Amino acid sequence: MTSIGTGYDLSASTYSPDGRIFQVEYANKAVENSGTAIGLRVKDGVVLAVEKLVHSKLLVPGANRRIQTIDRHIGMATAGLLADGRNISNRARSESASIRKTWSEQPTVNAISNRIALYAQVYTLYSSVRPFGISTIFAGIDKNGPSLYVVEPSGVCLGYHGAAIGKGRQLAKTELEKLNLSELSTREAVMEAARIIYLVHDDNKEKEFELEMSWIGDETNGLHVPVPADLLTEADRKAKEALENFE
């Protein structure tokens, strides 16, 4: 058998001769086949935005959300397998409740992210399970200020000023790097996030999508809530105009 052939990809606990774990790479492919999700950490909060691909016209708008609330001050956005995302969100809520019960204090985004990273990494150790086909952005405001972390299928957990996962990750990352995130307000970040999601979707324009957004900041009193409908509509309109001018 070779390192690119059958055999070494049958178990997450088997290394190939060149040190790769194919099951983890397959999980990353599941993430890359999903709609794009981005997170922007700005001066007064954090904004999450997701390109939720609509696979059927029969689906109810707003169903199968890819942005979920973990704690009152923490939200998460996912790219990858939707069912795996629900498993991760339930685990994150349990970890958050555990920290509140044990230490009688508000959990930090860093603590939740690291616990979920350990949980994800355990699923790469045994042949009886498979890695999660999901990458997750955790965002929130805690005693350390605005925070943004990404947990990958391998269990890697990294902090970011701006993060992108999913199919349009590279283009979104390029656009995020052009922004001076430390100078933006959450309202400005909402506009920029919508513009970036529309820009990355342009490469996949044969599929319909819903723009899903949430934010945490001074305007929300530190709570993770969906972006208000009027602001979302305005961001949607400006993003479409920017895309037409870009073309």
Residue 65 lies in a domain: yes
CATH (domain of 145)? 3.60.20.10
User: Which residue range forms the structural domain that includes residue 30?
Assistant: 22-245
* Pairing outcome for strands 74-80 and 208-217: unpaired
Residue 7 lies in a domain: no
**Contact 108/147 with Cβ under 8 angstroms?**
yes
Convert the pLDDT of each residue in 155-214 to its tens digit: 999 999 999 999 999 999 999 999 999 999 999 999 999 999 999 997 667 788 999 999
- Mean pLDDT for the stretch of residues 55-81: 92
Residue 9 lies in a domain: no
Q: How far apart are the first and last CA of the chain?
A: 49
Distance between CA 186 and CA 207 in Å, rounded? 29
Distance between CA 228 and CA 233 in Å, rounded? 9
Q: Looking at residue 242, what is its pLDDT?
A: 87
Residue 192 lies in a domain: yes
Tokens linked to 150: 């990404």
Tokens linked to 48: 């999450």
Q: Looking at residue 37, what is its pLDDT?
A: 97
CB atoms within 10 A of CB 51: 26
Distance between CA 82 and CA 33 in Å, rounded? 12
Residue 235 lies in a domain: yes
* Pairing outcome for strands 208-217 and 45-54: antiparallel
- Per the structure, the count of domains in the chain is 1
Residue 1 banded pLDDT, cuts 50, 70, 90: very low
Tokens linked to 220: 């929300």
Distance between CA 161 and CA 114 in Å, rounded? 17
Residue 10 lies in a domain: no
Convert the pLDDT of each residue in 98-154 to its tens digit: 999 999 999 999 999 999 999 999 999 998 999 999 999 999 999 999 999 999 999
Distance between CA 117 and CA 108 in Å, rounded? 14
Convert the pLDDT of each residue in 12-52 to its tens digit: 888 988 889 999 999 999 999 999 999 999 999 999 999 99
